[in-house]
Amino acid sequence: MARSAICQRSGITSFENATELDTGRLRSMCLDAVAGWRLEGASVRVRYSRGADFSGSCCYQTGEILINLGRHLTYPYSMATHLARARAQRTYWWKPIYTIELADGYAVVLFVFLHECFHLLVKRAGRNTRQKESMCDRFAARWLADRYGAGVYDESGKPVARAEWDFQDLDAFVAAARRPRRVRQSPPLAARNPAISAAPRAAAQIRDEQLLLFEV
């Protein structure tokens, strides 16, 4: 895909992939997921990790998103997340571990990509960037669930209801990082049909005559 096309769809200026995953497919999956968000100047690099299952980072200053994927992963891959609601006792709080099942390496990269993109969107929307890991996971999981049917499971392996983890209006939270939509304005009706404005009095007379015909 040409660089200009990338910019047109997402604002991302470059997408580099050093793994065995198909670059065109991976790039398309990632860019489709962030269409409409303000990611101008961002760049993406995907490579193999040195041992970790996966990792990701984003640089607020440069917009660089780095994604590392483990060569050794087997699929489907159950990724531990921060999706669950916090639970509290009198003296402490905790979160259950929910996992999302990802079908292949493309899904793992896409999840990490979306997680890091939300960090960047939080910054560009002028929000406080601290303690946003759960929101970033929900932003990623929502797309994987909607587009690819990825399931979310609790610690015993039972499916988790969508309302238990998708309970925040993430789009509204980073609404300031939305790209402005181009609205195509239609010309006035009279401009599209000159006959309407040419003789308005005559048109009114015709309508009156038609009404008279029905009344007779």
User: Which residues neighbour 9 within 8 Å (Cβ) at sequence distance 6 or greater?
Assistant: 31, 32, 35
Give start and end residues of each alpha helix (H) in 38-149: 105-124, 133-148
44 CB-side CA count, 13 A: 30
Beta bridge partners of 159: 153
Cα 17 to Cα 20: distance, rounded to the nearest angstrom: 8
Reduced DSSP (H G I as helix, E B as strand, rest coil) percent helix, strand, coil of the chain, to 5? 40, 20, 40
pLDDT at position 4: 46
pLDDT in tens, 119-167: 999 999 999 999 999 999 999 999 999 999 999 999 999 999 999 999 9
pLDDT in tens, 56-82: 999 999 999 999 999 999 999 999 999
- The string of DSSP letters for 147-174 reads HH---EE-TTSPBPPGGGT--S-HHHHT
Task: Determine how many CB atoms are found less than 10 A away from the CB of residue 77.
Answer: 19
Give me the residue label for tokens 């560009």.
124
pLDDT in tens, 81-97: 999 998 887 787 888 99
Task: Determine how many CB atoms are found less than 10 A away from the CB of residue 138.
Answer: 21
Strand 43-48 and strand 14-17: pairing? parallel
Single pTM value for the model: 0.80
pLDDT in tens, 13-29: 999 999 999 999 999 99
Task: Determine how many CB atoms are found less than 10 A away from the CB of residue 177.
Answer: 21
Query: Could you say which DSSP state residue 37 is in?
Result: B
Residue 41 and residue 13 in contact, taking contact as beta carbons nearer than 8 Å = yes
